[in-house]
Structure formats: C-alpha cells, structure tokens
Amino acid sequence: MSFANEIIKRNHVSILGSGEKTLVLANGFGCDQNMWRFMLPALTPHYKVVLFDYVGSGKSDLSCYDQTRYSSLEGYAQDILDICEALDLQDVTFVGHSVSSMTGLIASIQKPTAFSKLIMICPTPCFLNFKPDYIGGFEKSDLEELIDLMDKNYIGWANYLAPLVIGANNSETLVAELSGSFCSTEPVVAKTFAKATFFSDYRHLLKDAKHPVLIFQSSQDALASTDIGDYMLQQLPDAELKLIEAEGHCLHMTHPDIINQELKNHID
C-alpha cells in the first residue's frame, strides 16, 4: 500500500466537493469528522473539503495508535501534515475547532507552504490559569479532578462535560451526541488526548504564526472566555476576531449558518 493510501485509511480521510480552494476541517477533542456535517451543504458546492479523524477517534485505524506520539499536540499536528503530504495539498485554508486550532497552528509553522490561512473556532492556547498574567479558565487541580473522573466514572465524565461544551441552553440532541462521541472513544485514547489538550500551553507559539488567522469566539463559552479571544488577537501577528452572540464551544454545530457566511466572506 502506498503512503497516500495508508494515510487515507489510517485517518479515514474524506474528500468532498471540487472547488479551486481547499479547506481542511479538523475536529476538537472527543469528536470526529461527522461534527462538521451541518456546515458541509454550504461549503462543498464552492470548495474542495478534506475531512479526517485523528488516529484514535471516529473511524480511524486504531491499530496505528501510539500513546507516546499522541501524548502531545505535536502528534496530532503530524496527522495533519501527513494528510497534506499524502494528498499533495498546498495553500489550504485550515479550519480547526477548539484544540485543533493549536494543532493546526503547530502544523502550519512546521510546513508553511501547505497552508494559506487559519480559521479557529473557539480556540484557546492554554486552558490553565497563570495568575495574574493569563486566565485560561481552569485551575490545574480542577482539571486533574476532571481527568480523575474519567477513571472513576467514564460515562459520568462524558455526561458532565458534554453540556459544558455544547452549551446548556442549546440542543439536547447535540449534547447527547457529543456525550455519545466521548463514550465511543477508547478510554486510554480519550484520557491521553484530554491530558494533551487541557494541560498544554502553546501561548509561546502564537507570535510565530506564519499565516493570517480568523478567530470565531462565542460570547458565552464555558471553556474559552472572550478574554482568551482578545489575548490571542493581541499575540498573533495577523489576526481578526469575530465575536458571535452565542452560547457554547461548538459554533460549527450550533450556529453553522453564521460560521459558513463569515468563513466564505473571509476566504473569498
């Protein structure tokens, strides 16, 4: 099997649409490419859209999972770079949700020619508080308790986290779907990704961004406050911030029409 075919199989890569410009969509923690389905009808008539699952999530090849590699976001960024190489992608617009905003940033710094711009949906470079200079939203002890809950009551952990992520006043169906997605992930994989997500600090990389960045910030997000959006806007060399009046951390699922319109305006 060729390298390209291996990667396509490994990361369950899907290619939709046939526009001149290419979008690579990368899901957040505990999710898979199916979470982008609400945006696809408006995107595929105009762009080539590349979807994938990180190794360990969705319909990826779990036999390729390496806990050491995926214990840091660099491992997930390498998945993105492998896909770009396998498909011979250049100048793509990378759209990352949540933690994938940072994996996309890492990948784009490592191989700038593969990317043209980055679009970040509800991003944060660090979830931890480093008072008084930076408030990521969580004390380390709080996040450690959350990780411990994964060991003690995995379903309870999923049912606790899902409404926080989606937003308590948004669709109960989406909350249930996200909880189910968390539960369908192998616990070892989920815990390793959770640690890489919640305990990482990539603030130092923001200044090294090589491409224009568009940030979509939710006005009410339990995981990434508006202060974080403002912080990133100040630290990134070339950035624009769109504040969306909405609740939750998954604007691509709860407000896809708004994100699609703003995204198309930005790209075109």
Report domain extents, the chain. Answer: 3-126+202-267
Please state, in angstroms and rounded to a whole number, the distance separating the CA atoms of residues 261 and 49. Answer: 16
Query: Annotated catalytic, 208?
Result: no
Would the pTM count as exceeding 0.85?
Answer: yes
The tokens for 90 are 């250049």
Is 221 in the active site? yes
| The token pair that represents 86 in the structure block | 């396998």
Residue 46: exposure state from Cβ atoms within 10 A (0-12, 13-18, ≥19): middle
Q: Which residues are registered as beta bridge partners of 10?
A: none
158-200: per-residue pLDDT in tens? 898 999 999 988 889 999 999 988 888 888 999 999 999 999 9
Q: Per the residue annotation, which of 60, 98, 100, 179 is the catalytic one?
A: 98
Q: 244 with 226: CB under 8 angstroms?
A: no
**What's the pLDDT score for residue 130?**
95
Contact yes or no for 251/122 (Cβ under 8 A): yes
- C-alpha distances (whole Å) from 84 to each of 9, 58, 87, 113 are 14, 19, 5, 10
Catalytic residue among 12, 97, 211, 249: 249
pLDDT per position as a tens digit, 17-38: 989 999 999 999 989 999 999 9
Cis amide leading into 132 (omega within 30): yes
Active-site residue, selected from the candidate residues 60, 108, 221, 255: 221
Instruction: Report residue 39's pLDDT band, with 50, 70 and 90 as the boundaries.
Output: very high
82 among known catalytic residues: no
pLDDT at 183: 83
CATH architecture assignment, domain 3-126+202-267: 3-Layer(aba) Sandwich (3.40)
Question: For residue 58, what are the contacts with CB-CB under 8 A and spacing of at least 6?
Answer: 12, 27, 31, 32, 33, 34
